[in-house]
Amino acid sequence: MEFTKGHGTGNDFVILPDPDGTLDLTPGLVAALCDRRRGLGGDGVLRVVRAAKHPEGVALAGEAEWFMDYWNSDGSFAEMCGNGARVFVRYLLDRSLAAAAAAAAASSSSSSGGMLPIATRAGLVRARVEGADVAVEMRRPRLYDTATATLGGLTLPGAAVDVGNPHLVCALPAALELTGLDLTRAPEVDAGTFPAGVNVEFTTPGEPVTGADAHVLMRVYERGSAETLSCGTGACAVGAVALRDAGLDTGTVAVDVPGGRLTVTVTPDSCWLSGPAVLVATGTLTPSALTP
């Protein structure tokens, strides 16, 4: 089986080319691939399949050639992954799998033209190349409720945010630091509010950054993957909450995660996530050898 390993600000993925959708990808195989001792290691798996060849992508096949079949590291599905989408796009460009759209994306200076569309479980996502960075346009985050997260003996209020997948953004009190949080276990949340589980982001304010309306530091516990170095949709959720707290409806937020910096730009109709997307290795693996 061929594979490529890539990451976006430390959020890492095993990428599997399967253009015709013939790979028998199972939850067990995904978990084995993502095992950091017995497998390749990763926060998730990105299967690269033509939209027309995947039952969840066929409805978008007329708008996008490729479907991002994203799996969490525990073998469960996720609706969307912002960093995964950026790495997915980097892979398509690197392998010339979307040559015409890639050329347009690379040459266009317009924010509305030169887009590379990809299909996801959360709908159509558009991307553009920004030098060494890849930016993806997703739905505008929707703040829809309040809830709490309990971590150890600490209970924090938070904002529930829909970015195609569910998030709970919790600001830490001024006396606490992000580095002091123990994220080796999942925070406790209200299952009634989040029946499908939730990604939980913990935030503190950062120093002012030139060109940004706000600057936020973030750590995240992702459902199905535990703590990760970065979460793209989580950064979008955090950015939307930061703008709301600043009294703004749109704007740009610098979000620092343990793996680096992401830039979130919320517009009246969508949300752009920008940052580095890197491919670090490619090779072949033996699936049968992944079984303990």
Domain 142-266 part of CATH 1.20.1250.20: no
Question: In this predicted structure, what is the pLDDT of residue 132?
Answer: 85
pTM check: above 0.75: yes
Which pLDDT tens digit goes with each residue over 194-235?
999 999 999 999 999 999 999 999 999 999 999 999 999 999
Tokens of 21: 């959708």
pLDDT tens digit at each of 292 positions of the chain: 999 999 999 999 999 999 999 999 999 999 999 999 999 999 999 999 999 999 999 999 999 999 999 999 999 998 899 999 999 999 999 999 986 555 544 554 444 446 899 999 999 999 998 888 999 999 999 999 999 999 988 999 999 999 999 999 999 999 899 999 999 999 999 999 999 999 999 999 999 999 999 999 999 999 999 999 999 999 999 999 999 999 999 999 999 999 999 999 999 999 999 999 999 999 999 999 987 6
Q: What residues are labeled active site?
A: 81, 231
Distance between alpha carbon 229 and the CA centroid of its chain, in Å? Answer: 11
What tokens does 199 get? Answer: 């990604």
Contact 35, 41 (CB under 8 A): yes
User: What are the domain boundaries of the chain?
Assistant: 2-138+277-285, 142-266
Given CATH 3.40.50.1390, say whether it is the number of domain 2-138+277-285: no
Calpha distance 258→181 (Å, rounded): 13
2-138+277-285 and 142-266 share one fold: yes
